[in-house]
Amino acid sequence: MNRPVLYTDFDGVLNAFPDKEIQDNGGVGHTQWLDDDDPRAQLYSTERAFVLTGDDIVRTPCGYYRIRWSRNIAQTLHRLASEGDIELNWLTTWQPYCSRILDPLLGWDPHIEHTAIWYDPISYERRYTGKLSTVFSRVRFETTQANPSPVIWLDDEECYETAADRIRALSPKAPVLMVRPDARIGISRRQWRIIQKFIRKPETFPELTLDEEPTIREYPGHLGF
């Protein structure tokens, strides 16, 4: 198989949205003040979540946004792309600002990562359908290749069973991994181990794997940009 193709969202995946009370008291790993039966103690433990070592405010034409991310994850993804282990693609509503804002923020080289153009930033056409269509098209393309690439899709909102069923119906020739993090912590340590294993040995995975963090919760609207 060719190297895996990775599509990643930003908000809720790399950019986490921790509870304000948690963040104000130190964030991941600083939950001693919580009651023992408070479920947040486990969610924000270092055994489950990465410490958000990156913390900044960025300015866009639409306003200011607070960004909190794990430098560990961001740096490793960029290194994997730099060394040719993965093809790294943004698939995020930050599409117009990936190379100008997100790449410099994370220390990514825009000549190494790519930005999927999946919606019109003026009319917003395809904003509600473009992500799945982009992944769908790539998986369908790979089914025509003699040496197909496995596909990884990281998204806290759109990686769910209905989308998985549509992709599964294509009968992918190379494994597909869909990962849905809990937006409060982003990619968990458990999910990161799955992603790394998939990158190293995709042939050990079934046709399609959907991993949803057990603590995910539904929320109205869209978090982030």
Tell whether the model's pLDDT for residue 221 goes beyond 80.
no
More confident position, 128 or 64: 64
Cβ atoms 186, 51 nearer than 8 A? no
Tell whether the model's pLDDT for residue 222 goes beyond 80.
no
Weakest mean pLDDT among 3-12, 159-168, 178-187, 212-221: 212-221
Tell whether the model's pLDDT for residue 73 goes beyond 90.
yes
Q: In the prediction, which pLDDT does 220 show?
A: 72
* pLDDT band at residue 224 using 50, 70 and 90 as cut-offs: confident
The neighbouring-strand residues paired with 162 are none
Weakest mean pLDDT among 60-69, 77-86, 121-130, 135-144: 121-130
Give residue 149's identity as a one-letter amino acid code. Answer: S
8-state DSSP, 191? H
Q: In the prediction, which pLDDT does 225 show?
A: 80
d(CA 39, CA 197): 28
| pLDDT averaged over every residue in the chain | 95
| Average pLDDT over every residue of 51-55 | 96
Share of the chain above pLDDT 70, in %: 100
Tell whether the model's pLDDT for residue 219 goes beyond 80.
no
**What value, to the nearest 5°, has the Cα angle with vertex 86 and ends 85 and 89?**
155
- For 18, 23, 164, 187, the CA distances from 27, given in Å and listed in that order, are 8, 4, 33, 15
pLDDT digits (tens, 9 = 90+) for 156-182: 999 999 999 999 999 999 999 999 999
Q: 19-49 b/e with 16+ CB inside 10 Å = b? A: eeebbeeebbeebeebeeeeebbebbeeebb
